[in-house]
Structure 1
Amino acid sequence: MPLPKFLHKAAELVACAMFACVFVVFLLKIVMRYAAGDALAWADEVSTVLFVWMIFWTNAFIVPDRHQIAFDLLYRHLPPAGRRVIAALRLLLVGGLFAWSLPGVVDYLRFLWRERTPVLQWRLDLAYACFGMFVAAVVVRSAWHLVALARANWRDEVKI
């Protein structure tokens, strides 16, 4: 499901801001280590959490399915009707597995409120909430593409 243009742009800006923060924290850590002789313990933690958020945020809201890794040796050689069947099976499999796992993911994230990061004492449910958003986004996107696939003309080329 493509996001509306302004939401897609906002998601890109958030990802860029996270990347910029990782870069600044990384540079600050280097400067403090070599110029001041002081290692910043919190910098590793901030960089790690931001990096995890960047990965799942971009895969949930920015990177389209067609840019994901795919094993399409057989798929490329099928006629449009065969591609449609394979695309529907893939969407059902991936979307179904992620939908099946979503309650467990949410339950585990709810459990993590008790745990904290070692240095900054951030709650781990907040640090890893991006994974729940990613799983939910995959489910919604798979359902959206299945509906679009069902509505499209059977002989048209599949573009998911």
Structure 2
Amino acid sequence: MERWILRWKSFAELMAAAMFATMFLAFMAQILSRYVFNVPLSWTLEVCSIAYIWVIFWSCDILLSERQHIIFDVLYKKFPPRPRRWVAIANTAAIGLTFLAALPGILDYIAFLGRRHTMVLHVPFDIVYSCFGIFMIAAIVGAALRLRRLLSSSWKQNL
């Protein structure tokens, strides 16, 4: 199982790097075409925007662990370990259940967006925003895994 997780993490990192490279190359193409050849390209802005959306939602819950996110834990750190565990369980369950309840509507809306296309490249919006569905599923799975860890006997390592 751990080997599969390492392969998945490596694949996710390569995808994020490819998206950043795509953004950079499109940005450089725009600079070159606009300032060197005086012929601005319209497709580069769209490529940069789509790659940015993908890299944000792809990286947010797939590549970053919960500890790497920005959190406001001033009150949380004041609790002793046992109450902190129950606060973490309640927070994680609330986030996981909220995302799970919202998932059908979000997936339905992403499917609905397939009727529209981007203005320049004519990419269907369901493809552009499908990364949000991936993010939601990853957040739900991450919440379930964290709940499992918090409810296990080794819960102190996961606070």
Q: How far is 1:67 from its partner?
A: 1.3
Show the 5 A alignment for 1:97-112: 97-112=98-113
1:13 paired residue number: 14
TM-superposition CA deviations, 1:29-75 (whole Å, max 9, x none): 00000111111100000000000000000012101111112121111
Which runs of structure 1 show a deviation greater than 3 angstroms over 4 or more consecutive aligned residues? none
Name the one with the larger helix percent.
Answer: 2
- Tell me if the contact between 1:80 and 1:158 (Cα under 8 Å) persists in the aligned partners: no
Q: Which amino acid aligns with 1:77?
A: K
Q: How far is 1:152 from its partner?
A: 2.4
1:130 paired residue number: 131
Q: Which moved more, 1:66-75 or 1:21-30?
A: 66-75
1:117 paired residue number: 118
- Tell me if the contact between 1:109 and 1:129 (Cα under 8 Å) persists in the aligned partners: yes
Q: Which amino acid aligns with 1:159?
A: N
- Tell me if the contact between 1:18 and 1:54 (Cα under 8 Å) persists in the aligned partners: yes
Q: How far is 1:123 from its partner?
A: 0.3
TM-score scaled by structure 2?
0.94
Aligned residues: 157
Q: Which amino acid aligns with 2:102?
A: S
- Tell me if the contact between 2:149 and 2:158 (Cα under 8 Å) persists in the aligned partners: no
Q: In the alignment, is residue 159 of structure 1 matched against residue 158 of structure 2?
A: yes
TM-superposition CA deviations, 1:100-154 (whole Å, max 9, x none): 110110000110110000001000000100000001110111011111111124x
Q: How far is 1:157 from its partner?
A: 2.2
1:50 paired residue number: 51
- Tell me if the contact between 1:60 and 1:137 (Cα under 8 Å) persists in the aligned partners: yes
Bigger RCO (CA 8 Å, 6+ sep)? 1
Q: How far is 1:81 from its partner?
A: 0.5
Distance, in Å, in 1 between the alignment partners of 2:118 and 2:65 is 32
Report % sequence identity. 36
Alpha-carbon RMSD: 1.4
Distance, in Å, in 2 between the alignment partners of 1:122 and 1:149 is 42
